[in-house]
């Protein structure tokens, strides 16, 4: 079932690229921009997260927290974060539970890979309600960054 604006954001606890547990509830009282991406080190995923990196000061200035989630291991995500100088946590949904809970999940992906996060963006408000939801069917598409910026500003 797809999540929609007004739904309570499913809570989660995942390991970060720094091997620390990170939970959604850790950010209660802040807006959260949650980006799901299929695979580290791929072209469109890098563009997606580099866009967030390049706008990080804007989000930080509004008191919003950016988080990236994929099914990659924390070790892969650590290298991806280091190589691209991301200032925000990358979280490993290696067990694929959070991607499924958010409706951002491919059962089958390219190269016959099974169980990969869809490209998706969610903005979660200070009360952990979803105020923006975009799940893309094509991994070649990027989220609507302007719409994300506008909802974070509001």
List, by residue number, the catalytic residues. Answer: 45
The answer to whether the CB of 51 falls within 8 A of the CB of 58 is: no
Closest by CA to 148, choosing from 32, 28, 7, is 32
| Contacts (Cβ under 8 Å, ≥6 apart) of 143 | 35, 48, 119, 120, 121, 134, 136
Give whole-number Cα distances, 130 to 12, 106, 116, in Å.
14, 21, 22
Closest by CA to 143, choosing from 5, 51, 63, 72, is 51
């Amino acid at each position: 079932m797809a999540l929609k604006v007004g739904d309570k954001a499913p809570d989660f606890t995942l390991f970060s690229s720094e091997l620390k547990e990170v939970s959604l509830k850790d950010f209660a009282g802040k807006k959260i921009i949650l980006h799901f991406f299929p695979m580290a080190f791929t072209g469109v995923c890098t563009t997606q997260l580099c866009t967030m990196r390049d706008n990080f000061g804007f989000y930080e200035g509004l008191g919003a927290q950016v988080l990236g989630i994929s099914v990659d291991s924390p070790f892969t995500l650590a290298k991806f974060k280091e190589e691209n100088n991301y200032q925000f946590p990358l979280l490993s949904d290696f067990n694929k539970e959070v991607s499924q809970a958010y409706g951002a999940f491919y059962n089958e992906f390219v190269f016959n890979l099974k169980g990969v996060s869809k490209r998706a963006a969610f903005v979660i408000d200070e009360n952990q309600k979803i105020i923006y939801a975009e799940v893309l069917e094509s991994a070649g598409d990027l989220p609507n960054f302007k719409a994300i910026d506008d909802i974070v500003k509001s």
